[in-house]
């Protein structure tokens, strides 16, 4: 892998269906999409017997008709996990996880470029995060999830993915050790995803070095969820700083030959998870509420080959 990273975007399934301008922008500006929510456990599994694939199917159909690759996000995570999973006896959760991975990955077999198999399994200290999966199986659930995903789609590139791992730090060190162990155990892991949710004016200082050390283990890497939030209201200065920060992330990614993709976590401030999640912040994306280009837009589209 030595081509420039492909540029992608997370898509909001409702906006994709209802906003033609948004849909056209996604189709024309990017070569990869991630479902912002539609392929997560909770929306896919209203109950143990039901698989609700309609929204995910529509996203796949859109991606295929527009010629976009899909990053599948995400199979095993502690968030947006249906309540019935934590209510189920711990002894049943291995079977629930296996069922889920088998059904979802095989449904889209051969059509998903990357799967985020396990999302955010470590906390900010690099310790295993407590979750219904960890409680039931201990840390072994990670290896098990990758084996199951590989069995269901041997052609998909399988990723571990997390936030606050842009730099060389305690958390990314813990991932580095985890990945080494998984590889030593013969687990089919192929990629490390660095999410890239950032605050303006605080760019990572060792992103390139960090990506390179994972690549040196034989993995590919990707920036999987890039957004850069700004304290509200934005100013010309903060918007310019945001453009610099986007450019810095893209340049670091482009400098690492094993970096497969840079995916933005949203295209425009019109559809953004930021204001509802981080009080006082917003304006995190490259287009504004009216889908007009912000300074960050030129920074992104000027620096990555599509």
Give catalytic residue positions: 120, 225
* Near ligand XIL by CB under 6 A: residue from 8, 9, 37, 210: 37
Nearer to ligand XIL, 163 or 251 (CB): 163
**How many residues bind to ligand XIL according to rule CB under 6 A?**
7
**What ranges in the chain are assigned the alpha helix state H?**
13-18, 20-29, 41-44, 54-66, 83-87, 93-107, 132-137, 140-152, 170-184, 207-215, 236-254, 274-277, 295-303
Four-CA torsion 138, 143, 146, 151, nearest 10 degrees: -110
Q: Is 269 in the site for ligand XIL (CB under 6 A)?
A: no
Q: 């889209």: which residue's tokens?
A: 108
Asked if the bond preceding 71 is cis, omega within 30° of 0, the reply is no
Q: Is 36 in the site for ligand XIL (CB under 6 A)?
A: yes
Q: Is 273 in the site for ligand XIL (CB under 6 A)?
A: yes
Site residues (CB under 6 A) for ligand XIL, limited to 47-86: none
Q: Is 225 in the site for ligand XIL (CB under 6 A)?
A: yes
The per-residue DSSP string of 124-182 comes to: TTSPBPP-HHHHHHTTHHHHHHHHHHHHH-TTSEEEEEESS-SSSSHHHHHHHHHHHHH
Q: Is 119 in the site for ligand XIL (CB under 6 A)?
A: yes
Q: How far is the CB of 59 from ligand XIL (least distance, A)?
A: 14
Nearer to ligand XIL, 36 or 144 (CB): 36
Any idea how long the chain is?
Answer: 306
Nearer to ligand XIL, 159 or 297 (CB): 159
Q: Which two tokens stand for residue 269?
A: 């401030």
Q: How far is the CB of 274 from ligand XIL (least distance, A)?
A: 9
Distance of alpha carbon 183 from alpha carbon 206, whole angstroms: 24
- Give Cβ neighbours of residue 130 (< 8 Å, ≥ 6 apart): 78
Q: How far is the CB of 141 from ligand XIL (least distance, A)?
A: 17
Nearer to ligand XIL, 153 or 225 (CB): 225
Q: Is 268 in the site for ligand XIL (CB under 6 A)?
A: no
Q: Is 164 in the site for ligand XIL (CB under 6 A)?
A: no
Distance of alpha carbon 282 from alpha carbon 201, whole angstroms: 14
Nearer to ligand XIL, 29 or 40 (CB): 40
Nearer to ligand XIL, 14 or 235 (CB): 14
Using CB atoms, what's the residue nearest to ligand XIL?
Answer: 273
Distance of alpha carbon 212 from alpha carbon 223, whole angstroms: 13
Residues 32 and 263 sit within 8 Å (Cβ to Cβ) = yes
Q: How far is the CB of 134 from ligand XIL (least distance, A)?
A: 17
Q: Is 172 in the site for ligand XIL (CB under 6 A)?
A: no
Residues that bind ligand XIL in the complex, under the rule CB under 6 A: 36-37, 119, 163, 195, 225, 273
């Amino acid at each position: 892998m030595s081509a420039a990273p492909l540029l992608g975007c997370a898509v909001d399934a409702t906006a994709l269906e209802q906003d033609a301008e948004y849909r056209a922008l996604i189709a024309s500006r990017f070569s990869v999409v991630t479902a912002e929510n539609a392929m997560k456990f909770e929306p896919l599994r209203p109950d143990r017997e039901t698989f609700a694939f309609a929204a995910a199917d529509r996203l796949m159909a859109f991606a295929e008709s527009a010629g976009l690759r899909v990053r599948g996000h995400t199979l095993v995570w502690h968030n947006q996990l249906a309540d019935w999973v934590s209510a189920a006896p711990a002894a049943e959760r291995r079977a629930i996880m296996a069922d889920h991975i088998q059904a979802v990955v095989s449904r889209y077999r051969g059509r998903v470029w990357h799967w985020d198999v396990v999302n955010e399994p470590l906390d900010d200290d690099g310790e295993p995060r407590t979750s219904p999966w960890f409680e039931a199986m201990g840390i072994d659930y990670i290896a098990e999830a990758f084996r199951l995903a590989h069995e269901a789609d041997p052609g998909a590139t399988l990723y571990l993915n997390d936030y606050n791992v842009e730099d060389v730090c305690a958390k990314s060190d813990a991932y580095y050790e985890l990945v080494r162990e998984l590889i030593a155990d013969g687990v089919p892991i192929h990629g490390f995803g660095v999410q890239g949710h950032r605050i303006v004016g605080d760019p990572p200082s060792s992103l390139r070095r960090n990506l390179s050390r994972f690549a040196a283990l034989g993995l590919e890497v990707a920036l999987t969820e890039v957004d850069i939030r700004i304290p509200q209201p934005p100013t010309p200065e903060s918007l310019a700083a945001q453009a610099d920060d986007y450019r810095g992330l893209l340049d670091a990614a482009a400098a690492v030959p094993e970096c497969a993709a840079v995916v933005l976590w949203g295209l425009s401030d019109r559809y953004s998870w930021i204001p509802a999640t981080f009080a006082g912040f917003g304006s995190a994306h490259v287009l504004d509420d009216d889908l007009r280009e912000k300074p960050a837009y030129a920074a992104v589209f000027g620096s990555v080959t599509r």
